[in-house]
Amino acid sequence: MARTDIHERILAQRRLRTAQGRLRQRRTVARRDGVRLEVDGRWLTGFCSNDYLGLASQFEVGAALQDAAAREGAGSTASHLVCGHHALHEQLEREMADWLQVPRALLFGSGFAANLAVQQALLEDEDVCVQDRLTPASLIDATRLAGCRLRRYPHLDPEGAMRQLRNAPGGAAMLATDGVFSMDGDVAPLRALSLVARTQEALLYVDDAHGIGVLGPQGRGTVAEAGLGVREVPLQLATLGKALGGYGAVVAGDADLVEHLAGSARPYLYTTALPPAQAAASLAALKLARRDDWRRERLRELIEQFRTGAGRLGLDLMASSTPIQPVLCGDESVATAMSSSLEDAGFLVTAIRPPTVPEGRSRLRVTLSALHTPQQVQALLVAIADARERADRAAA
Ligand SMILES: *Cc1c(COP(=O)(O)O)cnc(C)c1O
């Protein structure tokens, strides 16, 4: 039997991606100062981070990290069930649960791992996981890991969710959605989905990676904003690497479910606990996220300014009221050209292309932060309009 040569196979894939102009490249940030980034020797204004509240570079957050690291060292030295579970982890779980008004929260190394854990620990072969068509990679991979059926419904469509659940009787069911969709910026119809979940006896799981800190009272996210609680949404994901400016994630909700994850989820058990200092940083960030409504207020003003300005310039925005404000470009070559014109003009804005988004729906994923100034937003708008004109001229 002739074996497939892995090396040859990946080189062929690479050639194909190069020909399609889809080779993905990392950009190295040499230094960071708030929303300003030094890349390839030039300082750019970034409109692509998920640091919505500006907490990643906040003094108190960095100071908490340093203090804890000076006392506790750089790492946790083991997994949570061996001897890596530190009082700072415990405190962070308690304060996250308190903030989100749920009985229990469990800290994970990352949102990706947390998403894998939830399905792996709760779903079995004969079960079904029904998801919005635009849920992230980690939720889809999670279903594979759980070994159950995956069914997807049209974006933001509770009736579609209902149909998929009805068509998959037997076994247990989970209904999973993002709170705020990461590439579109729109918000899931959580109240309607919670009714669907109730009538179909499915467990509703909300991945609120982009809603936590930003939406809802005290920044408690999309679940709180929809007026829902742990009864309607037994489990939700709050990540610490986006609006909270650090790293890690928390699965929060029903005590029995969370307890079960802590005792049996493989992506929880078989990995090193987060550094305690990282938990200290998140505790400091949480305090600010909870208290400082002015950060959310400033963000809202910038979003409003961006949308109004973009409307005047005839840019193709999406139905988003969140800090994720995609500008549709259509063809991926247009998105790439516009992103590179923007970089020439001093802005770092990522072009999002297939397979991350559907063909013909390539976009610039503009994200706003409370740290941006109205002047920076205005300058970005002018630069996007200019980039659009250049792309149109080049196509003509
Ligand atoms: C970023 C993100 C994750 C993964 O969280 P990490 O902590 O970065 O691993 C999961 N779900 C969504 C919707 C995300 O945007």
Per-domain residue ranges for the chain?
A: 27-53+293-395, 59-291
SS3 for 73-133 is CCCCCCCHHHHHCCHHHHHHHHHHHHHHCCCEEEEECCHHHHHHHHHHHHCCCCCEEEEEC
**Could you tell me how many residues make up the chain?**
396
**pLDDT value at position 396?**
80
In the chain the beta strands, taken as DSSP E runs, fall at 29-33, 36-39, 42-46, 104-108, 128-132, 149-153, 173-178, 203-207, 235-239, 249-253, 324-330, 347-348, 350-352, 362-367
Give, as one character, the DSSP assignment of residue 215: S
Q: Is the CB of 35 under 6 A from ligand 1?
A: no
Best probe residue, ligand 1, of 112, 210, 237, 365 (max atoms within 8 Å of C-beta): 112
Tokens of residue 7, six digits? 């090396």
Tokens of residue 76, six digits? 């946790």
CA distance 355 to 357: 5
pTM score of the predicted model: 0.96
Q: Phi and psi at residue 146, in whole multiples of 5°?
A: -70, -25
How many angstroms separate the alpha carbon of residue 389 from the centre of ligand 1? 34
Q: Is the CB of 210 under 6 A from ligand 1?
A: yes
Domain 27-53+293-395 has CATH 3.90.1150.10: yes
Tokens of residue 245, six digits? 């400016």
- The closest of 226, 227, 220, 216 to 250, measured between CA atoms, is 220
Instruction: Say which CATH topology domain 59-291 has.
Output: Aspartate Aminotransferase; domain 2 (3.40.640)
Q: Is the CB of 241 under 6 A from ligand 1?
A: yes
Count of CA atoms in the C-beta half-sphere (13 A) of 128: 22
- Kindly give the number of the ligand 1 atom that is closest to the alpha carbon of 241: 7
**pLDDT value at position 315?**
95
**pLDDT value at position 36?**
98
Q: Are 27-53+293-395 and 59-291 in the same CATH fold?
A: no
- Kindly give the number of the ligand 1 atom that is closest to the alpha carbon of 249: 7
Mean pLDDT (10-residue bins), the chain, 396 residues: 93 92 88 97 98 98 98 98 98 98 98 97 98 95 96 98 97 98 97 98 98 98 98 98 98 98 97 98 98 98 98 95 96 94 97 90 97 98 96 88
- Kindly give the number of the ligand 1 atom that is closest to the alpha carbon of 247: 7
Please enumerate in sequence order all residues whose Cβ is within 8 A of that of 183, keeping only pairs 6 or more positions apart, or say none.
Answer: 134, 324, 326, 352, 356, 357, 363, 365
Is the alpha carbon torsion for 224, 107, 92, 371 positive or negative? negative
**pLDDT value at position 1?**
76
Q: Is the CB of 178 under 6 A from ligand 1?
A: yes
How many C-beta neighbours within 10 Å does residue 135 have? 23
CA distance 257 to 118: 9
- Kindly give the number of the ligand 1 atom that is closest to the alpha carbon of 239: 7
Structural contact between residues 36 and 43, judged by C-beta atoms closer than 8 angstroms: yes
